[in-house]
Structure 1
Amino acid sequence: EPIAEVETDKTTVELEAPAGGVLAEIRIPAGAQTIAVGTVLALVRGGATGETGTRARPAETVSGSGAGASTPAPASGAVDNGLTAPVRETAPGAAATAVSPGEAEQTVGTSPATTDAPASPLARRMAELAGLDLSGVAGSGAGGRVMKVDVERLLRPSAEGDAGPAQASARASEPPAPALPTVAPVSDLPHSDRPLTAMRRVTAQRMAEAKRSAPHFYLEAECAVDALLALRETTSPADGAGAPTLNDVVVRAAALALREVPLANSAWTGDALRVYDRVDLAVAVTTPGGLVTPVIRAADTKPLAAIAADLRRLAADARAGRLQPADYQGGTCTISNLGMYGVSSLYAILNPPQSCILGVGAVTERPVIRDGAVAVGSTMTVTLSADHRAIDGATGAELLRALKALLEDPQQVYG
């Protein structure tokens, strides 16, 4: 059962009990910030089997506020908790004595929760959401149990998690980016400093790194969408319920365009261009805590109705803080649409390690030439930001040309 909630940089995830027993002690108070890796979060009394320490995994970052705690090295058999941020208590506990790493490892390795299930609850949930079959997967947990990190490794399309020595050497040989001078903001004006959320902090770090490391170039195309708007009008139900939005149509068109221009559906690995065989399209969603990019898996194989349903579910989960890691990890290209705010065009920053990100502007009416005469037409500007290390201008132009053709002949998108 859930014993706490952890707030990651993207969402809030319930932490399930790693084993049966009684929550004997809570070491980290609710709302704690920047919890060191390896810190014991809580102790579970398991009756005759002793107590189990619940630790932050060494490969994950946990953030929270206040409270210090001891930070022993994590036991090799530590259970998978999926922790990456602040912990909020959901159950009280009495004081208990911490066990040694060896005892914790022995307890976890022999507990019924470990031997009865081939995967941790969080790993199973992530696999279900991503449509993964875990049978035959050798896990890194005690007794071969599949853990969160194992599912993340299966989902990760980037080269970061499985880069070989050659790739690591190539990255190590790159000169470090020069440190930028820090300019203090004006302090004598009336102001208020708002604490950064985990999501905002991570977004800031990733965007700054992307802009420093990836040489961006930009292209744009103006698309005539009169036919698209007319088709939407004739195919939508009278009450509009469940009808695909313009954003849904753009997402499907982008997925088909990426399938047509596979070099754009890629990532820069340092010593190779990794071209993906399917299109996992990330779509930017604004939430109260910041921007998240849930991913539509195999978007190039899904009909418009399925994409619309996926987007509705993912957007609702994102705004409610219910996204699971499997919902937003990975992605081979990203779409950011600010048209609903009246923005005519935007030039987005890349979402590393992806090679491309598409920006979608608002539909506007403007004078156009038709059959030699001036008329009023509906147009929409689509922009491309691309990593020049991975693709060149011609590839980017091919992608925009394919996308423009699909948007101007929407029967291909609706079909």
Structure 2
Amino acid sequence: MAVEVLLPKLGLTMREGTITEWLVPAGGLVRPGDVIMRLATDKVDADVEAEGEGLFHPVVAAGATVPPGALVGWLLAAGEVPPGGPRPRPAPAERRFASPNARRVAREHGLDLATVQGTGPGGRIVSEDIEAAADRAATVATAATACPAVPSIPPVAIPPVTIPPTATPPVTIPPTATPPPPAPLVRRHAETLGVDLATVAGTGAGGRIRRADVDLAAAADTRDRALPPPPARRSPPRPRPGQVVALTGMRGAIARTMRASLQEMAQLTHGYEADVTDLVALRAQLKREWTGLGGAGAAAGSTPRVPSLNDFVIRAAALALRDHPMLNATIRDDGIHLLAEIHIGTAVAVPDGLVVPVVRDAADRGLLALAAETRRLAGAARDGRLTTADLAGATFTVTSLGGYGVDFFTPVINPPNVAILGAGRVRDGVRWEGDTPRRTSVLTLSLTFDHRAVDGAPAAEYLRAVTALLARPLRLLAA
């Protein structure tokens, strides 16, 4: 029975996607989990895997842009022709308890999962089980090749043969056995590490190259060569006066999302000044002390990086949401849903727009772990390497324009959230102690919230909780 290949929806705001490349030729055999297309959306590029099995028949050409859920191809049985119209998708067949990666490795080795014994939790089949089974099969095949069965030969009378003294009988050298080729997974791993498989000695059955062999070769070669950096995200040309900027791609997605946000929500913004004098002093102290740890004799990578001001704000925002769950919510048809998880979206400017990668479980991360994750996400955003998992699931958003010298602004809520917190620049302030002025460091926070879900007083209480945490930064560092 024909199986529909539909364009997947990657994220709630996806309106369309472009099939940049078909990775399976027309008529090629496809199995569940095989990557069949590369898909580009307004926020991320992704490889799409097949959910069924059959001979691939594309409906649209590479380069086509279609909405999510559109029919883009069929998976057909041998001799079957594409149906005239859409058909219901068949129920998935029962599958053995195995990790997705183990299933992929099994397909690459041509192994039946029914013949593999799982050693993972609860008998789950993992990748190591597949590799071990492949090695056993290779060992058997190698032994069979090296020691073929010798058929019995009846005795034959051989007449005497006279060999001239000058004749030298030819010497036949048996060919050297060729090691089994490395698995596709190992080849991809070698490509990722920049390792030439021709220089790697295999330690698997029959000389097969394994992942551990590739890792060892990469480690030994690190001193002699540098791995190429990841490809940089290509910057769009700078806008010029008189130019028309099309509302397509990421720019179009931002325009639609922000307009819908302002049209569908009752948005209101509170401004609040936070005294961050002690926070600024703490960061300066950490810079001095941690920089000293990186002197002579320090292990490479052992010196921690000082969290940014924005990391402290994200940490404070996440902790305050525990006591103010109305701001960590979403509105649906049946009411206001308060969310159990606290996943903070962090707005990152990129050359062609804005993306919001997500720090998952932000309230449960220590400050250093949170800072490491925000650096990873920001780098991936600017290099165009964010995955769909990096962009999905934000329950609250933090954005900052302090680096651009902005004191106060009114951020627009990122649907389906009900609130967003903005942070401006740190500037000089004054606090009076009796008749004596004291210089302070002040940060302006701006909280935009959906008045349908949150009233002004609870929103102000949340801002007061965030500023109280920022005023005592050691609590954020130790929590």
Q: TM-score, normalised by structure 2?
A: 0.55
1:205 aligns with 2:205: no
Shift in Å at residue 249 of structure 1? 0.9
* Structure 1 segments unaligned to the other structure (5+ residues): 54-70, 78-104, 125-134, 136-188
Distance 1:119 1:72, change over 3 A: farther
Amino acid aligned to 1:332 = T
- Asked if the contact 1:368–1:376 (Cα under 8 Å) also holds between the matched residues in 2, the reply is yes
Give the aligned partner of residue 223 of structure 1: 274
| One-letter amino acid of the structure 1 residue matched with residue 278 of structure 2 | A
Root mean square deviation, CA, Å: 3.2
Of 243, 247, 254, the residue aligned with 2:310 is 247
- SS of 1:381's equivalent? strand
The amino acid across from 1:268 in the alignment is I
* Corresponding residue for residue 5 of structure 1: 38
| 1:304 matches 2:367 | yes
Instruction: Measure the CA separation in 1 of the matches of 2:256 and 2:67.
Output: 19
Report the AA paired with residue 47 of structure 2: E
Superposed, which structure 2 residues align to 1:4-403 within 5 Å?
4-16=37-49, 27-30=60-63, 32-34=64-66, 37-41=69-73, 49=78, 74-77=86-89, 191-236=242-287, 237-238=290-291, 242-403=305-466
SS in structure 2 at match of 1:374:
strand
Match of 1:321, as an amino acid?
A: G
Q: Secondary structure at the match of 2:441?
A: strand
Query: 3-state DSSP class of the match of 2:432?
Result: strand
Q: CA deviation at 1:392?
A: 0.4
Q: Alpha-carbon deviations, 1:180-237, whole Å to 9, x = none?
A: xxxxxxxxx9622233342222221121111112111111111111100111122242
Residues 38 and 74 of structure 1 are in contact (CA less than 8 Å); yes or no, is this contact kept in structure 2? Answer: no
The one-letter code of the counterpart of 2:260 is: E
Cα distance in 2 between the residues matched to 1:218 and 1:345: 11
- 2:273/2:442 contact within 8 Å kept: yes
Inter-partner Cα distance in structure 2 for 1:19 and 1:382 = 50
- Deviation sequence 1:311-354 (CA, Å, 0-9, x none): 11222222222222222222211111111111111111111221
Aligned-pair distance for 1:289? 3.0
Q: Is the 8 A contact 2:39 2:46 kept in 1?
A: yes
Q: CA deviation at 1:401?
A: 0.4
Structure 1 residue 409, shift from structure 2 partner: 0.7
Number of aligned residues:
297
2:459 alignment partner, SS class: helix
Q: Distance in 1 between matches of 2:79 and 2:283?
A: 63
Distance 2:84 2:285 in 1: 64
Between the aligned partners of 1:248 and 1:50, the Cα distance in structure 2 is: 59
In structure 2, distance between residues paired with 1:306 and 1:49: 52
Describe the shift of the 1:119–1:410 C-alpha distance in structure 2 as closer, same or farther (beyond 3 A): same
Q: Which has the higher contact order (CA 8 A, sep 6+)?
A: 1
Distance 1:15 1:262 in 2: 36
Would you say the 8 A contact 1:44–1:52 is kept in 2?
no
> How far does the alpha carbon of each residue in 1:91-140 deviate from its partner, in whole angstroms, 9 at most, with x for none?
xxxxxxxxxxxxxx6xx967xxx95787878xx9xxxxxxxxxx9xxxxx
The structure with the larger Rg is: 2
1:46-84: CA deviation from partner (whole Å, max 9, x where unpaired): xx846898xxxxxxxxxxxxxxxxx9754433xxxxxxx
SS, match of residue 415 in structure 2: coil
TM-score, with length taken from structure 1: 0.63
Rounded to whole Å, the distance in 2 between the matches of 1:329 and 1:14 is 16
CA distance in 2, matches of 1:350, 1:344: 19
Distance 2:50 2:335 in 1: 42
Structure-1 separation of matches of 2:348 and 2:45: 16
CA contact (8 A) 2:429 2:440 kept: yes
2:42 is aligned with what amino acid?
A: D
**Structure 1 position 23, deviation (Å):** 6.7
